[in-house]
Structure 1
């Protein structure tokens, strides 16, 4: 049992087995440290949602892959569609293809989220446009489990222009970076496929980071924070 599990209150609506699983989740995930980028286990996440409203829309599916030992570990993959009986779908269903029948056949949200957080463990998370995924996942965990998401998140959409300034595509989307590096991506706009595409991009970015003397998660985060502060500083 987690050292801090007694601090986490029981969540009404969860059965005894789910409560026990909840208590096993890390209450205080590790901060980004000084291990090498290669030795760190990373979880690359992508969500499909009912829309883009941070406070009203819901997570419909979760896709994730693991980067470990300098490569995508295809033995560690995650995919779940969440059952959302009362969700009103936006036009985004035309992009991700999750219609009412797929959502009705999905997993219980609490079970899916427990499965995902057990898959994550205490690993840091990577996502393209991470603030959106971080907010939506955090809200889903709070609503379904009463769990506070405290895992480190790094935004691949910021890391790419930081580490590849010569590309001159700072406001680019994932498709732009895929095209820039000529990555062969068979499928897009599906949570697990987008997570894999993001992971393949991140492997290139890790290589660029090491070439620039950034070979630990802590060093990468520090450089990213400095870069973001410079971007936000007023120019005179």
Structure 2
């Protein structure tokens, strides 16, 4: 055995039925030239034990689907993941997740397979997407040995790209909700925040089309250009 073999992560052993479902997951699709309206988007929000990318854990998943230019309320996903032997901090209580709720949650491997079946080959939208992408990717690797490769677009970047007149430097979801005068009746749990993000994204899709951004690929390209300009040193 190699001296360094202990460094390699051990793939989890899954029940046969779960392994078969994992193997049947569709390959992720690259962003394409279909219209923004035609694209099926999965809008995701996660609740975690905290904001440490390497130590904190995934507690709940909330997601809704935008398709045909509208939120499809027949396609919603919500799971709380079972997480025993975990000390819960104040942020968890803010999300309304009590210790008993988490103890009675779904088996993480089962919930994560179900979520990836729900996602299919669709791209993912989230507010502060790099955090959600990292935490979801970690959980998938830990519980399923699955590598997350789906494209993620950050609504926190899309909003200022398309609405520079807002003059927000680093606005949160609440600031954008207020700026667009959206009526959001619930916040700070995964499903409610995913829905609020989806409502914001519907407005942004309309703004994108007004600015001659017509496809998911075009939107991704414009985002990349915008971020490069922001990061360029000013002289």
TM-score, scaled relative to structure 2: 0.94
Instruction: Give the aligned partner of residue 30 of structure 1.
Output: 29
For the pair 1:77 / 2:71, whether they are aligned, the reply is: no
TM-superposed deviation, 1:11: 4.4
How many residue pairs get aligned? The number is: 226
Instruction: Give the aligned partner of residue 144 of structure 2.
Output: 145
Query: Which sections of structure 2, spanning at least 5 residues, go unmatched?
Result: 1-9
Could you report, residue by residue, the CA deviation over 1:40-59 in whole angstroms, capped at 9, with x for unpaired residues? 00000000001111011111
For the pair 1:228 / 2:227, whether they are aligned, the reply is: yes
Could you report, residue by residue, the CA deviation over 1:84-109 in whole angstroms, capped at 9, with x for unpaired residues? 01222222023101121000000000
SS at the partner of 2:90?
coil
Q: Is the 8 A contact 1:58 1:87 kept in 2?
A: no
SS at the partner of 2:184?
coil
Instruction: Give the aligned partner of residue 111 of structure 2.
Output: 112
For the pair 1:194 / 2:175, whether they are aligned, the reply is: no
Q: Within 5 A, what are the aligned runs for 1:29-178?
A: 29-178=28-177
Q: Is the 8 A contact 2:158 2:223 kept in 1?
A: yes
Moved over 4 A (4+): none
TM-superposed deviation, 1:114: 0.3
Instruction: Give the aligned partner of residue 16 of structure 2.
Output: 16
TM-score, scaled relative to structure 1: 0.94
Could you report, residue by residue, the CA deviation over 1:185-215 in whole angstroms, capped at 9, with x for unpaired residues? 0100010000000000000000000000001
Instruction: For 1:141 and 1:93, locate their aligned partners in 2 and report how far apart those are by CA, in whole Å.
Output: 21
Query: Which sections of structure 1, spanning at least 5 residues, go unmatched?
Result: 1-9
SS at the partner of 2:222?
helix
Instruction: For 1:11 and 1:118, locate their aligned partners in 2 and report how far apart those are by CA, in whole Å.
Output: 20
Q: Within 5 A, what are the aligned runs for 1:201-216?
A: 201-216=200-215
TM-superposed deviation, 1:81: 0.2
Q: Is the 8 A contact 2:12 2:142 kept in 1?
A: no
Give RMSD over aligned pairs: 1.0
SS at the partner of 2:139?
helix
